[in-house]
Amino acid sequence: MTALLIGIAFGFALERAGLGDSRKLAGQFYFTDLTVFKVMFTAIVTAMLGVFWLARLGVVDLANISVPETYLLPQLLGGLIFGAGFVAAGLCPGTSCVSAATGRADGLAVVLGMFTGVLLCGAADLGGAALYSATPRGSETLPQLLHVPYGVVVFAVVAMALTMFMLAERIRTAS
């Protein structure tokens, strides 16, 4: 039930940000529309600051937050396939569902293609278990990977995001 409510809220936020429109998303790749970047980095900064301070105040126990494990090679390969599909379709999995839900035909086509691809890939067992479990790195977080305090990573990411927001605004006003 919680997942359903969060999913609906996420979809609503994506639609409100205009990310159900494939032209807007494709604009990110050509630097003509930086909405995707701004929306996603705003979400990252909000979540990062929220988790840090809620944990610091004792509201959230970081040990109860599941961190997905990293498998470098299969995830790099998956990232490449994901990116190629994103550029070709102009939509990613989340935004394609939003696009389909709002009645856009391209969104519906991407959702159908995505599920067909997942089904065929699963049935064919491409790569097998050896590929899926190759190059394991465990549940690494940036502070663990970089050997720096959690607060330093939070500060660096927020500083980077705010700097990029300013640059994005300059690009927008210049164009």
- Residues forming contacts to another protein in the complex (CB under 8 A) are 45, 49, 52-53, 55-56, 58, 61-63, 66-67, 69, 71, 129, 132-133, 136-139, 143, 149-152, 154-155, 157-159, 161-162, 165
Residue 4 to residue 24: CA distance in whole angstroms: 26
Q: What angle do CA 45, 47, 51 make, to 5 degrees?
A: 120
Whether the CB-CB separation of 107 and 20 falls below 8 Å is answered with: yes
Give the nearest distance from C-beta 41 to another protein in angstroms.
Answer: 11
Give the nearest distance from C-beta 48 to another protein in angstroms.
Answer: 9
Residue 124 to residue 128: CA distance in whole angstroms: 9
Give the nearest distance from C-beta 135 to another protein in angstroms.
Answer: 9
Distance of CA 25 to the CA centre of its chain: 13
Residue 109 to residue 115: CA distance in whole angstroms: 10
Q: Which is nearer to another protein, 82 or 155 (CB)?
A: 155
Q: Which is nearer to another protein, 47 or 112 (CB)?
A: 47
Give the nearest distance from C-beta 96 to another protein in angstroms.
Answer: 25
Q: Which is nearer to another protein, 36 or 154 (CB)?
A: 154
Give the nearest distance from C-beta 17 to another protein in angstroms.
Answer: 14
Q: Which is nearer to another protein, 23 or 172 (CB)?
A: 172
Q: Which is nearer to another protein, 115 or 155 (CB)?
A: 155
Residue 148 to residue 130: CA distance in whole angstroms: 33
Residue 44 to residue 24: CA distance in whole angstroms: 20
